[in-house]
Amino acid sequence: MKILVTGAAGFIGSKLMFMLARRGDEVVGIDNINDYYDPRLKYGRLRECGITCGAAEMEWGVPYQSMLLPRCRFIRMAIDDKESLDALFQRERFDKVMNLAAQAGVRYSITNPYAYLQSNLVGFLNILEACRNFGVRHLIYASSSSVYGMNEKVPYSEDDKVVSPVSLYAASKKSNELMAHAYSKLYNIPSTGLRFFTVYGPAGRPDMAYFGFTNKLREGKTIEIFNYGNCMRDFTYVDDIVEGVVRIMQGAPSKQQGDDGLPLPPYAVYNIGNNSPENLLNFVDTLQQELIRAKVLPEDYDFEAHKRLVPMQPGDVPVTFADTSALERDYGFKPSTPLRQGLRAFAEWYKEFYG
């Protein structure tokens, strides 16, 4: 297959691009490589895929061939650039599209709301239009566990009503699901939304708690643990996320006609989570142990002196917990990487990457 991966310099996108190309698919990755966080980390991920331009920045619109993966190319491009995106779709004629490009972050959406409008709504609309106009057979896109908002029923099921987002980021992701459903109904485009639950692991995003905690602890700063540590998160290791994505890409919601003779929308949504939420204090304690083991922190590090328990922050929720029975039923897969194993891999990567 020929597959487009957007957000290909991102945490999940770079690993997905590598896996797809290694198994033999022809993959084109695009990313605007913005400065939401340090672009050097994004370039580092691309180098892991064998993609480098030998310069500080890649040129816009220029394809770069992977030196490791003959069927993998990367182009610096933004999904809100409709003209360039349409030209790419017309030229390449993709079979499938995995849209991971988005402005991420809950707290950032409070201070920079317009960034979410442009990327998560305008950009996603451009993806939908390109899929409609250029014969894409299956659109897969990243949603988020944040769409569940303050849902009190746990674990979260795809059948739950999700009508009360508590952040603009969450609202933008729910909007993506609604937009995809409309295009599936109107134009019979198979689409699958993936609600990711608190993804972590090597080469992750610095704005995620475990990465931010590590940076601050290493610099001798104090970390803040929200809701006084009484948060539960369904931490999901990145390799499990990528495995789930690859399995879901194998199929697509089937095209069927309803009793009225009109197409039923070939549309689906799946949770991808570890189905085993962890208390935030336990998570931080395990992280500290693995950072000491990897020699990121010294053995005598005074952890208690560098942590502070604080109230819940706007946009946060006290618990996330994925019901993954639909994923298990339809694709025979359930994320299962133990937390310590995943944090150990992160700590070892951090030590190697930052020295």
The 10s digit of each residue's pLDDT in 306-324 is: 999 888 777 677 788 999 9
332-345: b or e for each residue (b if 16 or more CB lie within 10 Å)?
Answer: ebbbebebeebbbb
* Rounded Cα distance, 339 and 334, in Å: 15
Going through 52-152 in order, the beta strands assigned E by DSSP cover 63-65, 72-76, 96-99, 138-144
- Residue 314 inside a domain? The answer is no
**Candidates 108, 148, 169, 200; catalytic one:** 169
**What is the pLDDT at residue 54?**
59
Where would I find the H helices in 158-306?
168-187, 209-218, 238-249, 280-293
pLDDT of the chain, 355 residues: tens digit per residue: 999 999 999 999 999 999 999 999 999 999 999 999 999 999 999 999 999 875 567 899 999 999 999 999 999 999 999 999 999 999 999 999 999 999 998 888 888 899 899 999 999 999 999 999 999 999 999 999 999 998 888 899 999 999 889 899 999 999 999 999 999 999 999 999 999 999 999 999 999 999 999 999 999 999 988 877 788 899 999 999 999 999 999 989 999 887 877 779 999 999 999 989 999 999 999 999 999 999 999 999 999 999 998 887 776 777 889 999 999 999 999 999 999 999 999 999 999 999 8
Q: For residue 169, indicate whether it is catalytic.
A: yes
- The position carrying tokens 């957000």 is 7
Residue 140 sits in which domain range? 2-198+236-274+321-336
Residue 178 lies in a domain: yes
As to burial, measured by CB atoms within 10 angstroms (0-12 exposed, 13-18 middle, 19+ buried), residue 74 is buried
Structural domain includes residue 262: yes
- Structural domain contains residue 121: yes
Whether residue 225 is contained in a domain is answered as no
pTM of the model: 0.94
Total of domains in the chain: 1
Note whether residue 110 is domain-resident. yes
Residue position matching structure tokens 């009190």: 152
Residue 44 lies in a domain: yes
pLDDT of residue 319: 81
CATH code at 64?
3.40.50.720
Q: Is residue 301 part of a domain?
A: no
